[in-house]
A and B are shown apart, each in its own frame.
Chain A
Amino acid sequence: MKIIIVGIGKVGSTLCEFLTKENHEVVIIDSNAKIVEDMINKYDISGIAGSGTNINTLLDAGIKSADILIATTEHDELNILTCMFAKQQGVKHAIARVRNPEYSTQTKFINEDLKLDLIINPELEAANEISRILRFPSAETIELFAKNRVEIVGFKIPKNSKFINYSLEELRKQLNTKFLVVAVDRAKKAIIPTGKFTLQENDIIYVTGAKGDILNLAKELGIYKDRAKKIMIIGGSVITYYLANQLIKANAKVKIIEMDKDRCLELKELLPQATIIQGDGTDKDLLIEEGLNETDAFITLTGLDEENIILSLFANHLGVHKVITKINNLTYYEILSSLNLSSVISPKIITAYNILRYVRSLQNAIDLSVENVYKLINNKVEAIEFLVKNDNELTNTKIKDLKLKENVLIAVIIRGANIIIPTGDDVILPNDRVIIISTNQNITNLEILE
């Protein structure tokens, strides 16, 4: 597909990286010529230095023949306007990043009347992600599939778990619950396990299954924690507002620590049920005084990555159950997980992934259509949700007889209302949704077969 990206920040460049890997034709537009040149040197794309709201620039970029335009400049207005220009010129899909809460409340109007196809609000997406983690704090990560009906949950095997050195087969027998380990993250190496795979401490296992079974597994592993009730948030940013709003609706107690007095007052007006503390979030005594020891979850949402990281380390040290760290610069992601900060979120990356997911769902292959794509273990593993459109080599053959490629696993089959964790004897039928786990990137069609 031909994709035009306007505005190359972190989101734009992440998109570039993934989209070129997937062999799309990418054209970038940015007002900074230096950035455009650097990107052209780095990726196999073409670029124009200019503004997305200049019709000639858009025409130069080939807007008339483009399939998708993605506007991710810093300014909401520019993004919306660029998408409107593009739509008018006949681009098939227009995606805008819009972060101002004021516009977010008008999504319906923007979608339907201004004809933008997707509006992404990074702060809102980040808040959604955090509240999802908080609902099930035992998990390191949760990805939702099939309209939120299927979960892939990441659990960390604790240090002195009794299941260390158990193979997955033994584990399943012992617990007598139905679940499937789809991937394992061992020291940053992604493994798609077989039944013989034995567990070790600090492995992060990615599990799918019915919700009750997964809950049961967490309890058996000894890592179950109840839903976070008392939550402390450092920094009163836009994400804080969205997040606190969601948490309060779910009856959690929210405490927000913010330095700026005016912002505190503003937040209090917006969130009357939250406790707003005006003070320095990096002040150790203040944190202890406000009951950091007793909180279920501690979330750092200040604008400074360093501050967020240090605060999270401190909370970890005090033994807070769930610590979530927001960072903007993901370059050092690998180091963070070695510091035991496992729940790290980055609004920009989440935004990029959401857009990527949308783009991939537009690719309609002949036999399978991609509905959803998630990246696990720092992008090393992909979980892809396909809709099986018609009879093909995948269908009507027992799974154990399918010649799957190495490192490909059929994790879940969704047939109507049933969710099937498949065994070797199950069969895929047309119109099933199938979730496939793979370490080979960019699977779009029947490439999972040998």
Chain B
Amino acid sequence: MNYRLIIKTIGKLLYIEALLLIIPLLCSFIYKEDIYLAYLIPISIMIILGFIFSKIKCENNKFYQREGFFTVGLAWLILSFFGSLPFIISQTIPNFFSAYFEATSGFTSTGATVISDLTVINKSILLWRSLMNWVGGMGILVFILAIIPQTDSRSIYLLKAESTGPSVDKLTTKLTYSARILYLIYFGLTLILFLLLIIKIPLFDSINFAFATAGTGGFAIFNESIAYYNSVYVEIVIAIFMIIFGINFNIYYLILIKNFKKAFKSEELKVYLGIILTATLLIAINTLNIYKNFFTSLRFSFFQVSSIISTSGYTSTNFDLWPEFSKWILIMLMFIGSCAGSTSGGIKVARIIIYFKTILKEIKYSIHPKRVSVITLEGKPVNESMMKGLFAFITTYIFILIIGTLLISLNKFDFITNFTATLTCLSNVGPGLSLVGPTGNFSIFSNFSHAVLSLIMMIGRLELFPILIIFSPSLYTND
């Protein structure tokens, strides 16, 4: 393992995070909040450490897969640690484990919170939470790739470890350009969302909601989340943008280069939109009894479906009161998540498509044992090693869900709470059901549970393996 290079990369990351923290610092100046130290202390620690790390001499610039995965895994753990310091120093969340949970939830764009009452929180802290959602959504190492020219071509492993979905396509031939284009698209879409929001709601709110929606994070600045506004306009704008940020960013690139044909031919996109449409209609019909009016139930069901499938986790109504059928649909959506290459979490539609095709293939295979068939995605055959990876993924996903639920069960809460809390963290959604539903929050859990859930969120965001390899002894012994 090339530890020197890993430490150097972490050093760059600390600089970037210090730079990001300046934004809430400025905000605290503007609102005259007396918590400057909450930002200044972590900023100075990070700059000092970043400076020391940048002095490390590193002759070997080779970056292999394990270095890439390890760097990303480690980077995110460190990122969340420094991200939690403002919460602790400002005494917003004095407990370290809870603060770490909050920061992890921010960077992994989960949006689960331990803060019971958001109305008493400093505005700069609220902004920091939203900003974490935004940066975490696209990935901070992708950001580093975009702004710092890379010396080694193998840095693609960083992109691979941090972006979502079963395979990574570089948009252009050059990694740096690809990372820049991703961030430009991301920034552009966020800006459009911001402009649409500012028509109806105040500036500070617009900035926060634009950031948190873009990262499909779902940190709100009100206890009631989006329901605070009770505005159809705001709900529709945010719902549509949550869907937009759940779409593979490659499609926006294709649109940018005017390759519309290829963009709209995407199999994953069609299935994704299909799932949203079906789920919305089913829930709208199922909740008709509660809302009495089809359009009202359609409004809430559309918002909730897009919020859950994009793994944002905003709430416009208390869906915990919905019938079991609708709640189960939401849980299914938590599993699925959105498209590969988006800012969302979950298993990803692309993988779900392949799993379904495999099931169909196996059924046909039982009828015609000698039948030859190839599984395709987007018209291209899925090769064997990718298939293996896909099945390892789903098995591990379920396994972590089961073990996670077991560990969370140590709290004396009901099954639905334990299970949905674990699932919502693993899929980076935010709210669950029962005690962690739209009206509840994660402050009810013990320190131990917060640590476990933080880890689970991280595992979910980085798609399992970058975090899991940190705990694999063979990584360290076999030099």
Residues of A within 8 A of B (CB): 2, 20, 25-27, 33, 40-46
Contact = CB atoms under 8 A, between A and B. Distances in A.
Nearest to B175: A44
13 contacts: A2-B173, A25-B173, A25-B174, A33-B383, A40-B156, A40-B170, A41-B65, A41-B157, A43-B153, A44-B150, A45-B173, A46-B170, A46-B173
Interface string B54-81: 0000000000010000000000000000
A20 B172 contact: no
B4 interface: no
A27 B170 CA distance: 11
A23 B150 CA distance: 12
Contacts of A42: 153-154
- The DSSP consensus for interface residues of chain A is mixed
A2 B150 CA distance: 19
A13 to B, nearest CB: 13
B173 A44 contact: yes
Given A25-B173, A46-B172, A41 B154 contact: yes
B156 A27 contact: no
Contact of A41 (B150, B156, B173): B156
Contacts, number: 29
A41 B66 CA distance: 12
A42 B156 CA distance: 8
Contacts of A26: 173
Chain B CB count within 10 A is highest, among A20, A33, A45, for: A45
A44 B153 contact: yes
A27 B154 contact: no
A27 B383 contact: no
Nearest to A2: B173
Nearest to B381: A33
Nearest to A27: B173
A202 to B, nearest CB: 26
B364 to A, nearest CB: 25
Given A40-B170, A41-B157, 15 more contacts: A2-B173, A25-B172, A25-B174, A27-B173, A33-B383, A40-B156, A42-B153, A44-B150, A44-B153, A44-B156, A44-B173, A44-B174, A45-B173, A46-B170, A46-B172
Interface string B157-171: 100000000000010
A45 B156 CA distance: 10
A44 B172 CA distance: 10
A113 to B, nearest CB: 32
B2 to A, nearest CB: 16
Contacts of B173: 2, 25-27, 44-46
A431 B174 CA distance: 36
B153 A20 contact: yes
Contacts of A20: 153
B312 to A, nearest CB: 32
A43 B175 CA distance: 10
A25 B173 CA distance: 6
A81 to B, nearest CB: 24
Interface in B168-196: 170, 172-175
A46 B150 CA distance: 16
Interface in B269-312: none
A104 to B, nearest CB: 33
A80 B177 CA distance: 32
Contacts of A40: 156, 170
